[in-house]
Amino acid sequence: MASVIVDKYYISETFDENRNVSFTFKKAKEEVSGHFANFIDAVNEFINISEKSQNITHVWFHRDGKFRGSVNLEKARIIANRVSEAKVENKDAIEYIEKENLVDKPMPKAPKAQKVTKEVQEENKNPNLPKSVFGIEKIYAQSIFDAILAERASKRLATHKVKSRGEVSGTGKKPWAQKHTGNARAGSLRSPIFVGGGRAFGPTTERNYELKINKKARRNALFSALTMLANASSVLVRNYKLESISTRALLVELNKDNLINLNNILIVTSDEIIFKSARNLPNVHTTKVTSLSIEALVAADVLVISEKDIEYLEGMAK
């Protein structure tokens, strides 16, 4: 399949010593091939070259050293007619076609999800957070690592299974006599040594992937993760309440706290309305205080928690 060749041209504003505007015309990666006093003359030059060219052509417009848009041959003809009919002055020509949306521009890139801003950090600084939960002296990195492994292992299901010789279908008859046949002794064709037989020592659903972690180690991991969030001023004490299940209403509440553009918002709540309202938001996660995940805390950009749930965590620290 032949590749499509696109010839690129540029029309740019230039100024002389007296600030009189003119327009340069050039092909990409080549020297300037023309200077035109009128904008329409530069556009017509592109149209004439494009009509003779066997390749696809586009022209890029530049004003004040910045890209203002591009067009193909058909749209260049429209621009020439519109600028002539409107009797636009040369100094305003490129600005005119940009404002009238006569040029194509690339779609603006989606804004990257913001990290916690300084305003949010200042707002989230809370000296009243209990030190026993959000201000422990040592961060237990190894406990955090072990707790995350244990959490992931507990979610793993033993869904892989193969059939043993007692489960495969087939006859149970002895294939040949015990002796005097010249063959090795065999009691069943369902043995693993025969094609179609069962699997010896294969995986079963009885396997348990859970990893043990001591209660003290997991508690150290929990308080370490909470302390890291508090040190980053990423703990917001709020108790969101909605009258009904509404994603929009929850977004409004998050926007009030400047959280709406964050990558990962973790809301600790036991309110079913909040749980259901956040289901359609990919960057908002909800959990109960009794089900706090170490991995979710480490990944969170901000933790939203109520005073009642903080009191529950305080009780765990005693």
CA distance 128 to 120: 17
Comparing 100 with 293, which gets the higher pLDDT?
293
Strand runs labelled E in 230-309: 235-237, 265-268, 284-287, 302-305
Span 140-166+188-317 CATH architecture: 3-Layer(aba) Sandwich (3.40)
- Angle 172-178-179 from CA coordinates, rounded to 5°: 160
Q: Where in the chain is the domain with CATH 3.40.1370.10?
A: 140-166+188-317
% of the chain surpassing 70 pLDDT: 92
- For residue 102, what pLDDT is reported? 86
> 193-227: per-residue pLDDT in tens?
999 999 999 999 988 999 999 999 999 999 999 99
Q: Determine the 3-state secondary structure of 36 from DSSP.
A: strand
Residue 190 structure tokens: 């369902």
Q: Give the residue carrying structure tokens 């404002």.
A: 99
Pair 212, 226: CB distance under 8 Å? no
Enter the pTM of the model: 0.57
> 80-118: per-residue pLDDT in tens?
888 888 888 888 888 888 888 888 877 665 555 455 555
> 120-140: per-residue pLDDT in tens?
555 555 668 999 999 999 999
The CB density around residue 194, as the number of other CB atoms within 10 Å, is 14
> 170-190: per-residue pLDDT in tens?
988 999 999 999 999 999 999
> 3-58: per-residue pLDDT in tens?
567 888 889 888 877 778 888 888 888 888 888 888 888 888 888 888 888 888 88
Q: How confident is the model at residue 1 (pLDDT cuts 50, 70, 90)?
A: very low
Query: What residues does 57 pair with on adjacent strands?
Result: 7
